[in-house]
Chains A and B, each alone.
Chain A
Amino acid sequence: MIHKILSRQSLLFSLAIILSGGCSRIDHKQSALDPKGIVAQNQYDIFMLSVWITIFLFCAVGGCLLYVLWKYRVKNEEEAMEVPPQTHGNSKVETLLILASTVILVILAIPTLQGVVLMNRVPDPNDEATLKKLNLDREQIEGAITVNVTGKRFFWIFEYPQFGIVTANELVFPVTKAIRINLKSEDVIHSFWIPKLAGKMDAMPGHENFMWFIADQEKILSRTDRHGKPFKENVATAMPSVFNGKMREAVFAKQDFNATFEPVGGLFYGQCAEYCGNSHAYMSFRGLAQTDADFAKWVERMQNAQNPNLKTLQWDSTKEYEKGSVVIAKDESLVDEYEKGSAVIDKEESLVDENSTREFRALSKVSKGDEPNFSSGSWKKLNSNDYEIGKALFLGSQCGECHALNRTGIGSKGPNLTLFGLRTSLAAGWMRNDRTNLVEWLQDSNKVKFGNLMWNGERVDDKHPLRSFKPLPILEEDGDQLKEEKKELNKEKSIRVNQLVTYLLDQR
């Protein structure tokens, strides 16, 4: 009989799935069932309360329904024609049920209201009772870090006003401090969702929103292995430092994006949760938890990289230079290097000519007038040839119009690329940030992320240098000569892209 399956099946379903999610805590990258911060823990606790309430109600009401269906079912033709007593209701029972449901709602309403306050307000550092309840120290609140988050199609800008630095798509934060997030948008509505830390809040244009979170180091360190056995991870492996690239290495080593996914505790996944256009699905981001010391070092590196006063200056013949000083000077040899791949970007208008410059570092104390070149012996090139050509490409291919990189480039249309080589991910958290992916991304980003603005944005058309990186398709019907020419051309395109990639990945 179908009516029997009717309620039982859904009951079993709900129990099986909720229990598997609620108890065994499967470690999914972006799971709200695995909270690692106070705000998310609060949300999780209220959710589980509501789950148990509803399971209870479902069993009670569903059980009642099953009982009625079984007891009063028609067993034969005669019964089907019977006329049962025609009762019209019972006001006592009805009142009782209304009162009972009100009580149940009150049970849910109280933690809800407390949760609303917690989500919207960082606790007052002077309010010791609340801090104690939340198990927080005063300085965790007082030393709160503010991050201004701007949602854009389809990436995130993270600005740290206390430190004067800007980054994109990867939010680096200290694990012990409260993080205050001010949200805004410059185009359509986005929503900042970081499930393991704090739920979500919309980034609205023309209206600033606020949310906050604080990670819980204990929770990040407590892990379970594949057999479900709990163990404590140490800080160095759970939260590898970002500033020296250890985080990136750890993520690459552990996360092969396969079923054998092994999480790095300090890495949090986030996602835009409000539909914002074609590439909404691709608008993710990451949060990287750091110890206080590692965070301070990362901030310092960012500040140095973005400080206009630390800009490398042109070599000055009237100055003496200390050992280790870095200057910019002409280097004609770059032209030869450049021409190895010169078929690609406009032949007539070369980006590298005899006046092109590169960075040199003094090997020892350098006296006045000792011009930086390779023959003098007192200077050494700071970066590889590919890096310098890549830099010329970056500036000459209009990349700087949208991307700011250290002190280079003016744009804020695209993600800020400062210290790009330290990032774990590429294209708003979509791909791993390594050479293969970056080459694929630059050569045909539309294939990776259809409709992305780097490929399709304002004033990007077929004449844009970025699109010239795309390899030409070699078709069946092409003649042998044409095929050869195309192959040659594609090889050169690949050289160019790799030079640009070298420049970007060396930003560390």
Chain B
Amino acid sequence: MATESVKYVAPETETKLQNQVFPRPGQHTTGIIDWLTTIDHKKIGFMYGLTALFFLLVGGLEALLIRSQLWNHNLDILNNREYNQMFTMHGTTMVFLVIMPLSAAFFNFVMPLQIGARDVAFPRMNTLSLWCFIAGGITLNLSWFFTGGSPAIGWFGYAPLTDNRFAEVMNDMGPDFWVFSLQILGVASLLASFNFITTIINMRAPGMTMMRLPVFTWMTLVVSFLIILAFPAITIALAELMFDRTYGTNFYDFQEGGKPHLWQHLFWIFGHPEVYILILPAMGIVSEVIPAFSRKPLFGYGLIVFSGVIIGFMGFAVWSHHMFTTGMGIVATSAFAILTMLIAIPTGVKIFNWIGTMWGGRIRFETPMLFALGFITMFMIGGFTGIMHSSVPIDAQHQDSYFVVAHFHYVLIGGALFGLFSGFYFWLPKMTGRLMNEKIGKVVFTLMFIGFNVTFFPMHYLGMIGQPRRTHTYNLGHGFEAWNQIATVGAFVLGIGIAIGVYQFVSSFFDKKLKPAGKNPWDARTLEWTLSSPVKEYNFARMPIIKSRDQAWENNYGPKEKHSEKEPLDDHGVHMPDRSWCPLVTGAGLLTLILGMLFHATKDLETGVVLERDYMIPIIGGIVFIIGIIMWAMEGPGGYHLFPKEDEE
């Protein structure tokens, strides 16, 4: 690391403020303070990823408890309330604390490298997004320890089951934790999305036109737009629910003229785009992995990008297919059925194009490719059953049965999680600088692939023979036992596979015995593979000038005129910003604020139960939050300059 650094002298007005108000931890910060104050997109990506992997294990444990309970009829490993809490927490955890943040981890780490940027547009906002995500995870899981335990309302919390009137435990706080954690997770997602959009629009390297963007970056862009358009709907729905629960308003209370339908519409107009928020990043990853391991450019790049955009756009027009059995009438159900079928076309296009990419290539079956192929086949099955559900008469049987459980696990594990695992095996060497053990990788894939199919394929049949979803047990004589036992065995195999995989990912950060990865271990195609592994703190020593879509490939194999160039070295060097405490302070303020809103004193008067809220804690939290923002605004840029040598990228 032959770099020398000098203190950057900012204009006087700014440096003064910085020194008086709040110093930013500087270049040589290490250890825990480094991780708490970092604003480097790569480190934030690590933290997103590791936290999400932790929650993956938590959610997986919940799933295994669920599967154990269903081993046989009338078991009581969990009683019914515990079971209901378990599936609520499993669903919420997997959607909001695992798949979304895992995608965010890749967005953070990979996207700036793919477009040739120094960092994201708003690095401190990026850190705040991370802390909000962690605060959301803490809030949700704190619910285990308070009145009523965790929420038992299902991950889509249908009104009026969430109403106090129907609480099955006195002063049940579970749904409150659920509401507030989703709100703060929404903040996290929105912050990240605005950040990514700004970054992709504004910070591309010279020559990196929109139609030269790697597909993964395109999907980052689409998903970010989906998030900022979809999350307001659930934010409103949750705020209304909070008012209903806390102040006795009646948005969803049918006895006072509210409409339970309203919740379903608001939830699913968020919830369906959410499905694409979960799957499009995986599609982006697969669209990077398959060309790399086929040694061919993506077949029909324009069409793949366009179909990704179309899927995102149409995702807002099909939400009511979750509500076919709620009685919307013939016209509405028919319209949504047709729209839902249409969305199968751009999805099909992607699969055709992935196969087209492999056609005529040189296909290598390394672990990332295996997961990508697993993604294609499993997602295909999930997609096909999805087409079945778009047909209303079929849905009348499938809705809320195990068939639906099978369907969305095929999409979310066979699809999203396999895609993300493919991404881990693909990009982790870039992050850690070490190649992971191929043999262990293949064992993980085999265990996951077999375990997954053994778990979820029988569920199609279980749904058809009448097992309803979200039931903690079943009666003798339905013939459910054998299939459930197969599924449970499969779940444990899948669980072992995932656990080994997670161990492999985490250990590759520390295991010094692993082989070094080098710049481009896979002979992959996009810009991030022109950098050394692990990527230097400053990403690009000199701004690259992009000449083609698959820049790393063209640099190695393309004609001279397609090789990228670099802007010349100058005296200015690379400006690196200082670290900052402000996002952590702001995030901690927000966490205190929402936790304070949750807790209340209960008084049992003669007239009944009265809730008394203590507003001191949320006010303190709010003050900390505001102080954090003011410090944020006043702390000034600070920073230092690095001067990489000529030969460093």
Min Cβ gap A17→B in Å is 5
Interface stretch among B105-113, B183-191, B328-336, B529-537? B328-336
Q: Is A206 positioned at the interface, with any CB of B under 8 Å from its CB? A: yes
Could you tell me if A54 and B387 are in contact, using CB atoms closer than 8 angstroms? yes
Q: Is B442 positioned at the interface, with any CB of A under 8 Å from its CB? A: yes
Q: Is A163 positioned at the interface, with any CB of B under 8 Å from its CB? A: no
Known: A46-B394, A87-B299. A21 touches B464 (CB 8 A): yes
Q: Provide the bound-state CA to CA distance between A115 and B397, in Å.
A: 13
Q: Provide the bound-state CA to CA distance between A269 and B465, in Å.
A: 11
* A residues near B508, Cβ cutoff 8 Å: none
Interface stretch among B233-241, B472-480, B497-505, B630-638? B472-480
* B residues near A390, Cβ cutoff 8 Å: none
Which of B80, B378, B468 is A10 in contact with, Cβ under 8 Å? B378
* B residues near A101, Cβ cutoff 8 Å: 344-345, 348
Q: Provide the bound-state CA to CA distance between A136 and B154, in Å.
A: 42
Could you tell me if B362 and A79 are in contact, using CB atoms closer than 8 angstroms? yes
Interface stretch among A194-202, A318-326, A497-505? A194-202
Given pairs A31-B466, A51-B388, 20 additional interface contacts (CB within 8 A):
A2-B365, A7-B377, A13-B457, A29-B479, A73-B363, A74-B362, A84-B295, A91-B300, A98-B349, A101-B345, A109-B338, A113-B337, A189-B260, A191-B399, A198-B396, A199-B396, A207-B327, A257-B476, A281-B471, A281-B474
Known: A47-B397, A89-B299, A450-B79. A84 touches B362 (CB 8 A): yes
Query: Which positions in A face B, CB cutoff 8 Å?
Result: 1-3, 6-7, 9-10, 13-14, 17-18, 20-21, 26, 28-33, 40, 42-44, 46-47, 50-51, 54, 57-58, 61-62, 64-65, 68-69, 72-74, 79-80, 82-91, 93-94, 97-98, 101-102, 105, 108-109, 111-113, 115-121, 153, 183, 187-189, 191, 193, 195, 198-202, 204-210, 255, 257-258, 261, 269, 271-281, 284, 430, 450-451
Could you tell me if B381 and A58 are in contact, using CB atoms closer than 8 angstroms? yes
Known: A188-B161, A199-B397. A261 touches B477 (CB 8 A): yes
Could you tell me if B349 and A278 are in contact, using CB atoms closer than 8 angstroms? no
Could you tell me if A50 and B362 are in contact, using CB atoms closer than 8 angstroms? no
Could you tell me if B344 and A105 are in contact, using CB atoms closer than 8 angstroms? yes
Min Cβ gap B482→A in Å is 10
Closest to A17 in B: B461
Q: Provide the bound-state CA to CA distance between A421 and B450, in Å.
A: 50
Could you tell me if A201 and B360 are in contact, using CB atoms closer than 8 angstroms? no
Could you tell me if A32 and B300 are in contact, using CB atoms closer than 8 angstroms? no
Name the 5 nearest CB pairs between A and B, nearest first: A30-B466, A199-B396, A206-B254, A115-B393, A281-B471
Known: A105-B341, A187-B160. A204 touches B260 (CB 8 A): yes
Closest to A46 in B: B393
Q: List 18 A-B contacts (CB under 8 A).
A: A2-B442, A14-B457, A43-B394, A54-B387, A69-B358, A72-B294, A72-B361, A83-B295, A84-B360, A88-B297, A101-B345, A108-B387, A109-B391, A112-B391, A206-B254, A206-B259, A271-B468, A278-B80
Which of B160, B325, B362 is A201 in contact with, Cβ under 8 Å? B325
Which of A85, A91, A278 is B84 in contact with, Cβ under 8 Å? A278
Q: Provide the bound-state CA to CA distance between A246 and B313, in Å.
A: 59
* B residues near A47, Cβ cutoff 8 Å: 388, 393-394, 397
Known: A97-B349, A189-B160. A9 touches B254 (CB 8 A): no
Closest to B393 in A: A115
Could you tell me if B400 and A1 are in contact, using CB atoms closer than 8 angstroms? no
Q: Is B376 positioned at the interface, with any CB of A under 8 Å from its CB? A: yes
Could you tell me if B365 and A32 are in contact, using CB atoms closer than 8 angstroms? no
Q: Is B520 positioned at the interface, with any CB of A under 8 Å from its CB? A: no
Min Cβ gap B43→A in Å is 34
CB-contacts of B73-99 with A (<8 A): 76, 79-81, 84
Interface string of B471-494 (1 = CB under 8 A from A): 111111111000000000000000
Known: A116-B393, A278-B80. A93 touches B158 (CB 8 A): no
Q: Provide the bound-state CA to CA distance between A21 and B168, in Å.
A: 39
Min Cβ gap B197→A in Å is 27
Which of A119, A204, A281 is B80 in contact with, Cβ under 8 Å? A281
Closest to A89 in B: B300
* Most chain B C-beta atoms within 10 Å of own C-beta, residue among A88, A188, A275: A275
Closest to B349 in A: A98
Which of B362, B380, B450 is A61 in contact with, Cβ under 8 Å? B380
* A residues near B399, Cβ cutoff 8 Å: 191, 200, 273
* B residues near A10, Cβ cutoff 8 Å: 377-378, 381, 453, 457
Could you tell me if B80 and A279 are in contact, using CB atoms closer than 8 angstroms? yes
Could you tell me if A3 and B365 are in contact, using CB atoms closer than 8 angstroms? yes
Could you tell me if B362 and A58 are in contact, using CB atoms closer than 8 angstroms? no
Closest to B330 in A: A120
* A residues near B333, Cβ cutoff 8 Å: 116, 120
* A residues near B135, Cβ cutoff 8 Å: none
Which of A118, A121, A188, A207 is B166 in contact with, Cβ under 8 Å? A188
* A residues near B296, Cβ cutoff 8 Å: 84-87
Q: Is B261 positioned at the interface, with any CB of A under 8 Å from its CB? A: yes
* A residues near B79, Cβ cutoff 8 Å: 450
Q: Provide the bound-state CA to CA distance between A365 and B557, in Å.
A: 114
Could you tell me if B392 and A112 are in contact, using CB atoms closer than 8 angstroms? yes
Could you tell me if A32 and B341 are in contact, using CB atoms closer than 8 angstroms? no
Q: Is B355 positioned at the interface, with any CB of A under 8 Å from its CB? A: yes
Closest to B377 in A: A7
Could you tell me if A26 and B479 are in contact, using CB atoms closer than 8 angstroms? yes
Could you tell me if B377 and A88 are in contact, using CB atoms closer than 8 angstroms? no
Min Cβ gap A109→B in Å is 6
Could you tell me if B397 and A43 are in contact, using CB atoms closer than 8 angstroms? yes
Known: A46-B393, A84-B360, A84-B361. A204 touches B400 (CB 8 A): no
